[in-house]
Amino acid sequence: MSSVSSLNALLASGLIGSSASSTTAIDLSSLLQAATGASSEGINVTSAVGAALYADRAPERQWQAQQSTISSQVSALTTLQSALSAVSQDLNKLSDATGSLASRTVSSSSAQVTGAATAGVTVGTHSVTVASLATDASWYSAPVPNAGSALGTSTLTISASGGTQATFTTGAGINSIADLANSINSASLGINASVVTDATGARLALVSSTTGSAADFSVSYGASGSGSWSSASVASSSTQLQASSFQITDGSANTGVAVNAGETISDLANDINLQATGVSASVVSDSSGVHLQITSTDGNTVSLSADPMFDLTRASTATNASLTVDGIPVSSASNTVTGVVQGLTLNLAGTTAANSPTTLTIAANDNQISQALSTFVSDYNTALTQVNSQFAYNTSSGSQGALSGDSIVRSLQSMLEGIVSYTAPAGGSGGSTTIQSLADLGITVNDDGSLALNTTTLDSVIANPGALQTFFQGTALNGFAQQFSTQLSEFADPATGAIAKEISNLNQQYSGLQSQVNDYESGYIASQQTVLTAMYSKAEIALQQLPAEMQQIQSQLGNNSSKN
């Protein structure tokens, strides 16, 4: 009899906690030892209740064992789903008409012309001769002291080759070349304006944003009519000027003025005063340095065709590139030439001699094709290994994988092993005259069902990328890759595939079992724990009182012990 049963019997007999006397001597120490199983008093209530509840939780342990099995199955299926997803992605790339199998490389016989080809371009060679490159248009001004130096009261006119004109009036809001550059850029004329600073000072630079004759433009900077006119500022009256010429108009008289290189602004003022009538020229100091001031002496309007302090010089004219491709003359506004050979882009970096054309060779991208097939073989083997491992017998555990009894996985195994024996119809729909099986590509099947890639065999067929694409893609996406992908999606599709559905069903079963565990705990186990805790606590109290009651009884019966 267990200690708990003995104690319950003792309590039920009324011997513990009873005031009744007996004519028979009773060894309560022996009774206590028999009741508790030890010479020391007391019951571990927590352990006693736990032991009783352990037996009550037997159904829970069965449910939890089922949950453990389900967890193992879900984990195995999830891992398998991931492996199959990698194979599916490989097949998508192989079936993509613009993917790895269609990738092309372009090699060039010179650095003057290079190229890039879009996927699927016909392999072959092309001859390119470049007579001239496409150029942009550019202008620059005479230097002024700095980017903030004052500009005269003039107008800058920009005329594009298409007839478009834009004017910018300086001296009224646009007071410096920095202001002028910002205004030109804000006008969105297809011209990039900037301030170039060097040892000579600051200059305005204008460059067309594109090349080609349509991007060409011209500029002029001169004064419009007023009673007086101010030039742009230069550093000092001794600053040497660039050679230029301009016209001074005073109502009825036009005076041509030539500026010799090396002349100063003071020299120019003297020349004007000697040559022109009706105007007076002087050098005026300002915050930026000095400027030329021309004032009418007869009340007429003064205007200048150009500002000698801010002369603008053309640096280059925008022109088209001139080249021949396979003997065909081509004019291009850009040095990046497209549309001459479909899918081929030419990048022009320099001119070539007429008798020494550049040869461009378009070929299949061997590295990408080899890598794509190598990745497919590797991912296929990984997926097949995971499937096969579910049916392998483990001698240590004496069992198979978590999915050994899964009919879906067994069907998947059969599909994977069967699809690699695919044979394309020779020359028919989706067929090829040279590549009809994976073996023709150097992909063979090992004894364990895994695949092996012979790169030597593969290298020999890459030279014919069209046949390679036909095998995998067919004539209308009906080749090996599409057929394999279609079969694989029945298992591996993340939304509708058999594996995804099975994972969902298993998760539902797991949740249902967890609900049973929760309900059993909150219902039956919780109430049992309350009852058992109260019962064993009462027994513990009784045992704690037992020694004192035993002494009292022995004392009462001690005089009668000689009669026993």
pLDDT digits (tens, 9 = 90+) for 293-336: 999 888 888 888 888 888 899 999 999 999 999 999 999 999 99
> Which of the pair, 247 or 172, is modelled with greater confidence?
247
Cβ neighbours around 122 below 10 Å, total: 13
How far is the C-alpha of 341 from the C-alpha of 117, rounded, in Å? 10
- Please give the order of strands across the beta sheet that includes 289-296: 228-230, 289-296, 279-286
Closest CA to 553 of 7, 35, 11, 29: 29
pLDDT at 285: 93
3-state DSSP call for residue 155?
Answer: strand
The answer to whether the Cα torsion of 226, 232, 236, 239 is positive or negative is: negative
Q: What angle do CA 10, 13, 19 make, to 5 degrees?
A: 100
pLDDT digits (tens, 9 = 90+) for 41-56: 467 888 888 888 898 9
What number is the average pLDDT over the span 436-461?
92
> Does residue 12 have a pLDDT over 80?
no
Classify residue 381 as left (phi > 0), alpha (psi -120 to 50) or beta: alpha
Q: Residue type for 555, please? A: S
pLDDT at 45: 83
Taking all residues of the chain, what is their mean pLDDT, rounded to a whole number? 86
Residue 534 structure tokens: 């109260």
pLDDT band at 433 (very low <50, low <70, confident <90, very high): low
> Does residue 8 have a pLDDT over 70?
no
Contact between 223 and 154 (Cβ < 8 Å): yes
**CB neighbours of 367 closer than 8 A, spacing ≥ 6?**
none
The gap from C-alpha 32 to its chain's centroid, in whole angstroms, comes to 78
How far is the C-alpha of 412 from the C-alpha of 289, rounded, in Å? 88
> Does residue 200 have a pLDDT over 60?
yes
**CB neighbours of 215 closer than 8 A, spacing ≥ 6?**
136, 137, 161, 190, 208, 209, 318, 333
pLDDT at 225: 63
How far is the C-alpha of 202 from the C-alpha of 5, rounded, in Å? 109
pLDDT band at 427 (very low <50, low <70, confident <90, very high): low
DSSP state of 143: P
3-state DSSP call for residue 106?
Answer: strand
pLDDT digits (tens, 9 = 90+) for 138-166: 999 988 999 998 888 888 999 988 788 99
CA distance between the termini of the chain: 28
Contact between 205 and 138 (Cβ < 8 Å): yes
Produce one character per residue of 535-547: b if its CB has 16 or more CB atoms within 10 Å, e if not.
bbeebbebbeebe
Residue 403 structure tokens: 């999915």
**CB neighbours of 328 closer than 8 A, spacing ≥ 6?**
340
Residue 188 structure tokens: 């969105």
pLDDT at 72: 93
The helix or strand, by DSSP H or E, that contains position 230, with its residue range, turns out to be: strand 228-230
What number is the average pLDDT over the span 351-379?
94
- What residues does 345 pair with on adjacent strands? 116
SS (H, E, C) 415-473: HHHHHCCCCCCCCCCCCCCCCCCHHHHCEEECCCCCEEECHHHHHHHHCCHHHHHHHHH
pLDDT digits (tens, 9 = 90+) for 88-116: 999 999 998 888 889 999 999 999 999 99
pLDDT digits (tens, 9 = 90+) for 246-264: 999 887 788 999 999 999 9
> Does residue 265 have a pLDDT over 70?
yes
What number is the average pLDDT over the span 76-90?
95
pLDDT at 426: 66
Q: Residue type for 188, please? A: S
How far is the C-alpha of 369 from the C-alpha of 104, rounded, in Å? 10
In terms of DSSP bridges, do strands 113-117 and 344-348 run parallel, antiparallel, or are they unpaired? antiparallel
| pTM recorded for the entire structure | 0.66
Contact between 286 and 200 (Cβ < 8 Å): no
